[in-house]
Chain A
Amino acid sequence: MTADFLLNLAQAIVNGLLTGMVYGLMALGLSVIFGVMRIVNFAHGEMMVVGMYLAWMGFEYLQVSPLLSLPVIALLFFGAGYLLQRSLISPFIGRPEHQQFLLLLAVAILLVNASLAIAGPDSRGVQMESQFDSYEVGPLVFDAVRLHAALAAVAIALLLWLFFTRTRTGKSIRAAADNNLAALVVGLDVRRLYAFTFGIGAACVGAAGALMITIIPVSPFLAVEYTLLAFVIVIVGGLGSMTGALLGGLLIGVSEAVAGLLLQPSLKSMFSFGLLILVLLLRPQGLLGKGSQ
């Protein structure tokens, strides 16, 4: 029993880590946007669903693998995010939360129903041989698509980290996030930086969508679930912290997998929300968030 159980547990943890990495990438966009402009993107899951649809269309009509269309989708999302910020969201920065909430809710309703009107209600998936593949390492089984997606997620996170620490724009964005007023004083174009940030956040979600479609088929109304999941992850990891989002993703991935093994699997999301409540109360800045909120 114990050997069997330990093996199952190890397998659950492996699965949780792989799924969690993609979760983390998905939540990263939410965290980046909040960290810089203090706006919670309530249309986050909807944006990801659009990314999944784009990747599906690329596969279905142009026979391009989602992993190859990923950079294109990320670029498109960057542009769309940049424009969205400049046109709609920019006037709402610093406004009361309920107004920001309503604005993004309206965007979410538009995105999800436009997806429905254009792509139809059927669940759409890509067909790849790797979806049925797995690698065996000793007694453990590594799921092929999840492993590919997780590796891609790590690579994207690494690129982002390089961007924020090595480039001028990246450093300016971090400066603006730390202290808006000071950034203005030293002459940074905060408006442009904000738009840039929103673009980057959107690109992350788009990329996550392209990876997600290899794992799970897309249908318009899954969006709310993704938004909620992203909230849970970034709060647990620390809203506004990049490494926090990745860690939060891994933590939620592993804890859900283990909870699914030990309890009835349909209870595992309850476990995540319980974790969210605990973190909110005991450490609202999240596990890796900065000191004060």
Chain B
Amino acid sequence: MSLREINVRGRSVQLYESGSGNPLLYLHGIADMHGLAPDNCAFHDFVAEKHHVIAPAMPGCVGSDEDNSLESIDDLRFHTLEVMDELKIEKIDILGNCVGGWLAAEIAVHNPERVGKLVLIGASGLFVSGEQIGDLFMAVQPLNGRIDDVRHMLFADGDGSLAEEWIPDQLSGKEQGMLRYKTFRCVARFGFKPPYFYDQKLVERLYRFKSKALVVWGSNDTFVPRSHATAYAEGFPNASVELIDGCGHAVLLEAPDVVAEKVLAFLS
């Protein structure tokens, strides 16, 4: 495992790398490595047993520089292509979790030539009428000093110890408080204003990605409802869905081994 910083057009980007084997570009989400934790999680270790995992932190997250010009998912897509260019990656399998899944889907439809296989886990990005993506920003605003709402939005068991560990009420030390703030500052740039964490036209463009796609979803996801999994799977010409029972949006934290098994089977 290595943690290093690379320079991408004048900005520093923190990069996590681990494992060997077929390379896999990992685009992180919120309750995830780089999002709410500085380190990798069990899921990443499972995947790194078979793959060379390359995971850049989004602008402003952990050690990556902020980018004040970041305003839309398209800006983030270009940034990610620049990271790939810097790493001399022509074409690669991509796994995207949460907002990283949206990013991965955008890259897949705009730049299908650069994507091998695609895995989306609880990906935002689509508009499904009547099935709105949750208001993460309101949910994380303290209610009577507690942020239960965001724990319930991201975890199937919002009162459980896993949720509490990842999203404590009190800022348990400055490091975690800063990490959380940085991540919300980053995702607010493209997700706070409409379209709220989605791209209205993305669903009609999914047909452009002809390679194999796997869509993994926690069956109880209340941030990005599971109907979005179906919409992704129907939009891609060559996709399959794996629903993980009893899990929420943070499915790869809740069932790292189960998700890793599905992902590894798909990628192999």
Q: Do A and B bind each other?
A: no
Taking Cβ atoms with an 8 Å cutoff, the residues of A that contact B are: none
Taking Cβ atoms with an 8 Å cutoff, the residues of B that contact A are: none
